[in-house]
Amino acid sequence: MNKKSKKQFETWLSILFIVFLQFVYLNTVFAQSFPSRPIKLVVPYPPGGVTDMIGRLVGQAMGDILEQPVIVDNRPGAGSALGADLVVKSPPDGYTILLGASSTHVLNPLLYKLSYDPVKDFTPLGLIASTPLVLVVGSQLQSNNISDVLGWLKTHPGQANFGSYGNASASHLAGELFKSMSNVSMVHVPYKGAAPALADLMAGHISLMFSDMSAFQHVKSGRLKAIAVTSFKRIDSYSDVPTLSEVAPTGSGLEGFQVAGWFALYLSANTPKAVLDKLNSALMSAMSSAEVRNKLISLGLEPGASSPEVLSNLMRVEREKWVRLISTAKIKVE
């Protein structure tokens, strides 16, 4: 490199360094003043549901900490894709947040053609809570524990079926994972929602079901038996019900069985790290509130705030698990 080229290179290097310093300075100034106006929290489901209640609860707590209102904007449609797409197209400035779920960022992209990429188009902010399913059986199985269930399934080939609250739902996928891991044969019977599936289970028309927490009202009445929950640890609201992984017989194949839906916050891609850190700090503080945690537990949820890195890793692990199962079980959305 001659002297002229070297001087030009050094000049360009100096310019790039100055631009970099300006970028760092502007982002720092922006983060220090953030937020200076209300924040929009997009909930891609209708008002009144569990996701909406989570959004309003956590949004209120974060708003109090950030000293700016966090306003819930319900944008239902296209299986939550409508709201997710709105956030993707918003400026990456931290003023528009998505309350996503495991279906929004893991399952839907594996089953539908979407306008967004769940990894490239979003910046994970942090987990809020998770909710497991519960394996429930009716009187048909005469089972009190998982060993009884497995014994019945293996001695009644061709007679076993399991219900779900919809094709490709979490309930369906949990049943398929159970089949795959324990090597039992069951026929899937999809319903249009949890209520009709539970009604048929109580009537003896199906053998078992991986249900949401609504099944516990029937467990309390004695019409169904709760065999196990699908989380790694027992849930506080039903601590007498064991986890499937803790009671799975050795060699059953069910060791390590875990299925849980989760709720988390996301920003559009390329949001400045300083803004991300400030929002995550507000989330962690909000989730440390006993009032917030108790209300989430009353909804059948397990509170569990996290860093963006933990949420990102969870998405990766969950995608790897479900992409294999969906392919092996040939699960499709009609």
Nearest to 201 by CA among 165, 235, 157, 153: 165
pLDDT at 8: 58
CA distance 154 to 184: 6
Alpha-carbon span 285 to 294, nearest angstrom: 15
Record the pTM: 0.81
Amino acid at position 187, single letter:
V
Ordered structural domains, the chain, with CATH: 34-131+260-328 (3.40.190.150), 134-247 (3.40.190.10)
In this prediction, residue 158 carries a pLDDT of: 79
pLDDT value of position 192: 85
pLDDT of residue 194: 86
Q: What is the pLDDT of residue 21?
A: 47
The pLDDT, as a whole number, for residue 166 is 83
3-class SS string, the chain: CCHHHHHHHHHHHHHHHHHHHHHHHHHHHHHHHCCCCCEEEEECCCCCCHHHHHHHHHHHHHHHHHCCCEEEEECCCHHHHHHHHHHHCCCCCCCEEEEEEHHHHHHHHHHCCCCCCCCCCEEEEEEEEEEECEEEECCCCCCCCHHHHHHHHHHCCCCCEEEECCCCCHHHHHHHHHHHHHCCCCEEEECCCHHHHHHHHHCCCCCEEEECHHHHHHHHCCCCEEEEECCCCCCHHHCCCCEHHHHCCCCCCCCCCCCEEEEEEEEECCCCHHHHHHHHHHHHHHHCCHHHHHHHHHCCCEECCCCHHHHHHHHHHHHHHHHHHHHHCCCCCC
pLDDT of res. 77:
87
How do the pLDDT tens digits run along the chain, 334 residues long? Answer: 565 556 655 565 556 555 454 455 445 544 568 999 999 999 998 898 889 999 999 999 999 999 999 999 999 988 788 999 999 999 999 999 999 988 889 988 888 888 899 999 999 999 999 989 999 999 878 889 999 999 999 998 878 899 998 888 889 999 999 999 999 999 999 998 888 999 999 999 999 999 988 899 899 999 999 999 999 888 888 889 999 999 999 889 998 899 998 999 999 999 999 999 999 999 999 999 999 999 998 888 889 999 999 999 999 999 998 998 998 888 887 6
Query: How much is the pLDDT for 99?
Result: 97
Q: What pLDDT shows up at residue 10? A: 57
**pLDDT in the model for residue 25:** 46
- How far apart CA 167 and CA 332 sit, in angstroms, is 8
